[in-house]
Amino acid sequence: MTFHTCPRGHARESVSIAGSVLCGTCAGRVEGQLRALPALHQECLHQASPTVRRTNPTKVSSGRRRDHLNVSVLDTRHRALTMLESWSGMVVDKLGTPPPPRTVPHLARFLLRHLKWLAAQPPAADFADEIEGLVVELRQTVDPAPSVPHAVIRKCVVDNCAGTISALPQGGGSAGSRHIACSAGHSWEMREWLGLRRLMKRQREGVDG
């Protein structure tokens, strides 16, 4: 049985996949998240085209807020497709396998089939971070107050900040009002998660180097 320190900051534990960069917990979590992505992505479509209830047609501001949310939902769905397509493209380039159809269900199933290979690659931790962040964002879009997801915890990327960042969204109200925060008070909107993750990656590479 092989033991190592998880690159995503988890405690030392057994690796469930031989040669995997990810720990057993991470590998299992990514598998579950990939299985959940198609349904979450589809549910977002209902949020993008909500049923208009004109119980009070004089409240124009409510409709404006809903229209703004629709655009945000469409952006989230597009980011999901783009991210899955990017990782699938890496698999296709490296393994020479035929590309899957450009839909979230097909891309997610494709990545599941090649998860063992992905988990053994150097960017496996980045793959796990991106999939987890995407699932968090989709869940917040579908349900403004979902059950508490597993948080991705990293050192704050702000210079000289001793705080830690959690991908567990903070705040209340609509999904658009939720944000990612560090324990020292710095915060980012959910739509900034991918850019923030890249800063975390560079920070981690600097420490490892």
- pLDDT exceeds 80 at position 195: no
The pLDDT of 124-150, averaged and rounded, is 77
Is the pLDDT at 66 greater than 90? The verdict is no
| Mean per-residue pLDDT over the chain, rounded | 73
Segment 141-167 mean pLDDT: 66
Hey, which residues does 3 pair with through a beta bridge? 14
| Assigned domain for 185 exists | yes
Confidence band (pLDDT; 50, 70, 90) for 14? very low
Query: Number of structural domains, the chain?
Result: 1
| 187: β partners | 181
Domain coverage including residue 131: 3-50+62-208
> Which residue type sits at 162?
A
39 occurs within a structural domain: yes
Selected residue with higher pLDDT from 131 and 189 = 131
Residue 61: pLDDT band with limits 50, 70, 90:
very low
In a domain, 57, yes or no: no
Instruction: Assess contact for 70 and 49: CB atoms under 8 A.
Output: yes
Cα separation, 175 vs 153, in Å, equals: 21
**pTM of the full structure:** 0.60
Instruction: State the pLDDT confidence band at 173, using cuts at 50, 70 and 90.
Output: very low
Query: What's the rounded Cα separation, in Å, for the pair 125 and 168?
Result: 18
**What average pLDDT does range 154-183 have in this prediction?**
63
Residue 56 in domain: no
Q: Is residue 157 part of a domain?
A: yes
